[in-house]
């Protein structure tokens, strides 16, 4: 049995720039702060992890619950506004690749995203990517990317031995896979990695990296 796990932003959807603009905009609107946009400088590169670090580094722990609620609400609103003007675009071939995997009896799929759940669903729907019956674990569930991935694996509820492959686009994805012992496939060219596809139009190459 093969377990195939996907990131969303930059992996299934061309949405990294959208996310960055809306996230930094939400922080500035709610907290009046201009934040570091070099995401690799943060310990946990997830929406919750980055926000936690911003709260702590600015001495705002006493207001953390209220801040989280306001930032998430503002962020989702900004995502909605952006998508109304410019719908999200899938990484070429993503939908067809998921359909191909779903048709296989020896494959289970999950999604593990560092983004918050509500915004993830909005972007997937906008891009026309169907994720019906696919477990999605997000930054709402944990601030650590590796823990998000662990929980996504638990969600597929497999009792037999599996090979776990994660498709992601960032250095933090590669690092989490190394920590967990997952097979990592890079989508795009943001980092150096031997197993790499430009997009999911390279379907045979992607399947080969899974072991199919």
How far is residue 56's CA from residue 17's CA, in Å, rounded to a whole number? 25
pLDDT at 208 over 90: yes
The length of the chain, given as a count of residues: 212
pLDDT at 93: 97
Structure tokens at 80: 């909605």
Residue pair 93/201 in contact by the 8 Å Cβ criterion: yes
Q: How confident is the model at residue 181 (pLDDT cuts 50, 70, 90)?
A: very high
Q: How far apart are CA 126 and CA 118, in angstroms?
A: 12
Kindly list the distances between the CA atom of residue 25 and the CA atoms of 31, 44, 72, 77, 197, in Å, as whole numbers in the listed order: 10, 20, 11, 11, 31
Full-model pTM = 0.94
| Helices first, then strands: H and E counts in the chain | 8, 6
CATH number, domain 2-14+88-210, options 3.30.470.20, 3.40.50.920, 3.40.50.1000, 1.10.260.40 = 3.40.50.1000
pLDDT over 90 percentage in the chain: 92
pLDDT per residue as tens digits for the range 105-152: 999 999 999 999 999 999 999 999 999 889 999 999 999 999 999 999
Domain boundaries in the chain? 2-14+88-210, 16-85
The answer to whether residue 161 scores a pLDDT higher than 70 is no
Cα(150)–Cα(80) distance, rounded to whole angstroms? 29
């Amino acid at each position: 049995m093969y377990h195939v796990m996907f990131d969303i932003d930059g992996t299934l959807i061309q949405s990294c720039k959208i996310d960055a603009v809306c996230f930094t905009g939400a922080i500035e609107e709610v907290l009046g702060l201009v934040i570091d946009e070099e995401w690799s400088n943060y310990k946990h590169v997830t929406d919750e992890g980055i926000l936690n670090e911003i709260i702590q580094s600015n001495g705002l722990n006493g207001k953390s619950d209220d801040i989280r609620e306001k930032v998430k609400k503002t962020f989702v609103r900004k995502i909605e506004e952006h998508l109304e003007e410019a719908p999200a675009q899938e990484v070429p071939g993503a939908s067809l690749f998921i359909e191909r995997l779903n048709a296989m009896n020896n494959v289970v799929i999950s999604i593990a995203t560092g983004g918050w759940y509500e915004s993830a669903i909005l972007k997937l729907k906008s891009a026309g990517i169907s994720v019906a019956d696919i477990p999605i674990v997000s930054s709402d569930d944990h601030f650590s990317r590796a823990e998000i991935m662990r929980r996504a694996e638990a969600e597929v509820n497999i009792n037999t031995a599996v090979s776990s492959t994660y498709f992601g686009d960032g250095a933090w994805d590669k690092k989490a896979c190394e920590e967990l012992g997952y097979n990592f496939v890079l989508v795009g060219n943001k980092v150096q990695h031997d197993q790499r596809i430009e997009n999911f139009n390279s379907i045979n190459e992607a399947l080969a990296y899974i072991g199919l």
